[in-house]
Amino acid sequence: MNIPTTIKAGFVQFDVKSGDISSNLQSVENGIRQLCDKGAQVAVLPELWPCGFDNAKIADHAEKTPEIIHTLRELAIKNHMLIAGSMPSEFDGQIYNVLVVIDKDGAIAGEYRKIHLFSANGEDIVFSAGDRAVVCKTSIGPVGLMTCYDLRFPELCRVLALSGARLIIVSAQWPESRINHWDVLLCARAIENQLFIVAANRVGRDDPLAFNGHSQIISPAGEILVKIDGQAGEGIANLNFNDIDKSRKQFNCLKERVPGAYKR
């Protein structure tokens, strides 16, 4: 597989309607169409984009996930686009918050079960936790996966970088009340690991929480290539993976680590 040096990556930011799969899927289809018209090869969607945190019915929603994935595979093939977003999925009788990556040929390139569940809103009661970091092989190269609260755990992103990820996809529902943390943590993860980040958040309201987006794409140097705030919409940016090599040639944070000195 020939890995491209440059790509156009994008995200779809919208108001995730709790429990309304039909409405949310329509928002995704519209957003992907807009990104395709602009030449995007990647579309990142918010966390639990089909149904939101409709916790009382999450098992019912998980039953519909295979059908939704089938639809995404068709969209990926039709638009020649890698599509990624999290959704509830059942494995061995347990429900997980799973970030699914579908490549442009419709193949499932990777599935990441969210490791860090946000106990402050009871996510750990509704979902089972994953236990494995995931870097998936895709048509655009190795891609690392993170979901929302994972951003607060730098160890995870570092492992993804050390495992060869050049791009980190983040799917999230990060509330407005802590959006300054979202902005800072995304930038920090990109800078300290010297890689690209494409992060999709939602807008709208799911009482008692409000969401104001700030979906963004960040370079290895911490430059915000595109960002949109409180409105629904799409963002797209050019990524040149040579920028990673340039950044690490100037000073290589990964190579110059001293793991033996970090022991407790």
Catalytic residues: 47, 114, 148
Q: Measure the CA–CA gap between 230 and 251, rounded to whole angstroms.
A: 36
Matching residue, tokens 């409180």: 230
3-state secondary structure of 123: helix
| Pair of tokens at residue 51 | 């149904």
3-state secondary structure of 100: strand
> Residue 125: enclosing H or E segment and its boundaries?
helix 123-126
The vertex-190 CA angle with 119 and 196, nearest 5°, equals 110
* Bridge partner list, 258: none
| Pair of tokens at residue 71 | 């639809």
